[in-house]
């Protein structure tokens, strides 16, 4: 006898095939193995009771506040408990219901579809980047004199820093990087802003050189539309904006240049983000922020299949917040976009381990593997080779028959 717990329907399908189940039987039974727990917040007690009855009618269930049954509690959270096949039937019935349930049905349908999606592909100049087969690694190259990780290549007296960046990029690609991310302005807590002119001087020569010499897409880490446009013109294909496209000019640049974008959540700005940290509900607040930014980006002409989201590890979060984000990373799948996570050498690792920045290597590996297991499509890291090797082992274990 085996008691089995699966991470997805593909593993169950393998068991069906091993047993020799009829293909039609697999089609009927597979949705019954795909279970969801869906929490709804602040539902009117009338709607909540209808949801309860409809779920029970499907052979599923819903948990609601005790007082909502009698009307003593006017609003309640609802935990829907069921299989994908049951939710499909529920959605069809809710579309015909009043009390806002028809709108809820549309949201459920979209979110379940997004949550179940893992076949992301982003088109680039030298071919598509498939994010389904394995987690992609984005290698970090800092063209700054004041990087928090002390790996900045740029110095005012260094005339060959583009060559240094190229050597580092080539090594990263050999080690498994599928994207190279170049940044010319430090985003560490309390970092001082630099001028557009200075950031252009730091980044564009390196972007131009790397674009000629490496085959993987180049990302420009910037919040300045002028820098983004110049970098795309020099050969970059991704705009990695830690400010979440707050500057509407950035949306115009990305749309006009047909660039991919990384939309990140940040509370405040680098200069102030760690001074006042307050959330009503961490995961919900980040999700709402990213959803609004996605809608704005798409309305501004950015193609939906060119958008990547990043919950912003370390940007206006406490150490505990960062751990919570990684633990619940799968929740962000409802946005329907590839998820990028950047835990590499961040201070929360040092705080948790009680060590300084030079001792964050093992903690970074653990955070990266946990993020990949929970749905990260892209990992932004300094230590490409080590993370790539660790991913190969975990993916080998996951795919073992």
Contact 183, 144 (CB under 8 A): yes
Sorted by where each starts, the structural domains of the chain and their CATH numbers stand as 34-116 (3.30.1370), 121-399 (3.20.20.20)
pLDDT at residue 256, as a whole number? 97
Contact 329, 371 (CB under 8 A): yes
Query: What is the token pair recorded at 36?
Result: 């969801």
Question: What residue ranges in 242-396 does DSSP mark as E strands?
Answer: 260-264, 307-310, 340-341, 378-381
Helix axes 196-213, 161-175, angle to 10 degrees: 50
Query: What is the token pair recorded at 325?
Result: 């984000």
Query: For residues 356 and 89, what is the distance between their CA atoms, to the nearest angstrom?
Result: 54
Residue 97: Cβ within 10 Å count:
16
pLDDT at residue 157, as a whole number? 43
- Express each pLDDT in 38-51 by its tens digit: 999 999 999 999 99
pTM: predicted TM-score of the whole model, two decimal places: 0.90
Contact 266, 240 (CB under 8 A): no
pLDDT at residue 186, as a whole number? 83
pLDDT at residue 253, as a whole number? 98
Query: For residues 376 and 329, what is the distance between their CA atoms, to the nearest angstrom?
Result: 8
Residues of the chain with pLDDT under 70: 1-8, 146-159, 190, 270-273, 275, 355-358, 401
Contact 222, 240 (CB under 8 A): yes
Active site residues: 346, 380
Residue 37: Cβ within 10 Å count:
9
pLDDT at residue 399, as a whole number? 79
Query: What is the token pair recorded at 198?
Result: 């200075």
């Amino acid at each position: 006898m085996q008691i089995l717990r699966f991470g997805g329907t593909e593993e169950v399908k393998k068991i069906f095939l091993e047993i020799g189940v009829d293909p039609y039987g697999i089609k009927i039974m597979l949705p019954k193995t795909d279970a969801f727990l869906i929490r709804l917040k602040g539902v009117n007690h009338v709607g909540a009771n209808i949801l309860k009855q409809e779920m029970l009618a499907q052979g599923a269930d819903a948990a609601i506040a005790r007082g909502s049954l009698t009307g003593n509690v006017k609003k309640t959270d609802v935990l829907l408990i069921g299989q994908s096949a049951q939710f499909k039937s529920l959605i069809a019935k809710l579309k015909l219901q009043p009390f806002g349930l028809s709108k809820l049905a549309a949201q459920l349908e979209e979110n379940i579809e997004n949550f179940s999606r893992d076949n992301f592909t982003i088109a680039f100049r030298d071919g598509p980047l498939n994010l389904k087969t394995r987690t992609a690694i984005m290698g970090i190259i800092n063209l700054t004199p004041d990087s928090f990780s002390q790996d900045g290549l740029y110095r005012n007296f260094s005339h060959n820093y583009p060559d240094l960046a190229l050597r580092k990029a080539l090594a990263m690609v050999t080690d498994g990087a599928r994207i190279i991310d170049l940044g010319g302005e430090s985003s560490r807590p309390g970092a001082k802003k630099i001028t557009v002119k200075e950031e252009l001087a730091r980044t564009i020569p390196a972007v131009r050189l790397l674009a000629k010499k490496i085959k993987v897409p180049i990302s420009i880490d910037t919040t300045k539309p002028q820098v983004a446009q110049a970098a795309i013109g020099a050969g970059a294909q991704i705009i990695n904006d830690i400010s979440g496209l707050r500057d509407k000019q950035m949306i115009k640049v990305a749309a006009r240049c047909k660039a991919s974008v990384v939309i990140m959540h940040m509370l405040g700005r680098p200069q102030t983000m760690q001074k006042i940290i307050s959330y009503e509900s961490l995961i919900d607040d980040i999700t709402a922020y990213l959803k609004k930014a996605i809608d704005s980006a798409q309305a501004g002409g950015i193609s939906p299949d060119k958008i990547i989201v990043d919950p912003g590890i370390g940007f206006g979060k406490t150490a505990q917040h960062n751990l919570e984000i990684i633990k619940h990373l799968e929740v962000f799948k409802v946005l329907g976009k590839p998820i990028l996570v950047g835990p590499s050498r961040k201070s929360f690792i040092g705080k948790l381990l009680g060590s300084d920045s030079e001792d964050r290597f093992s903690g970074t590996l653990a955070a990266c593997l946990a993020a990949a297991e929970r749905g990260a499509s892209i990992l932004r890291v300094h230590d490409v080779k080590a993370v790539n090797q660790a991913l190969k082992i975990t993916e080998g274990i996951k795919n073992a028959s």
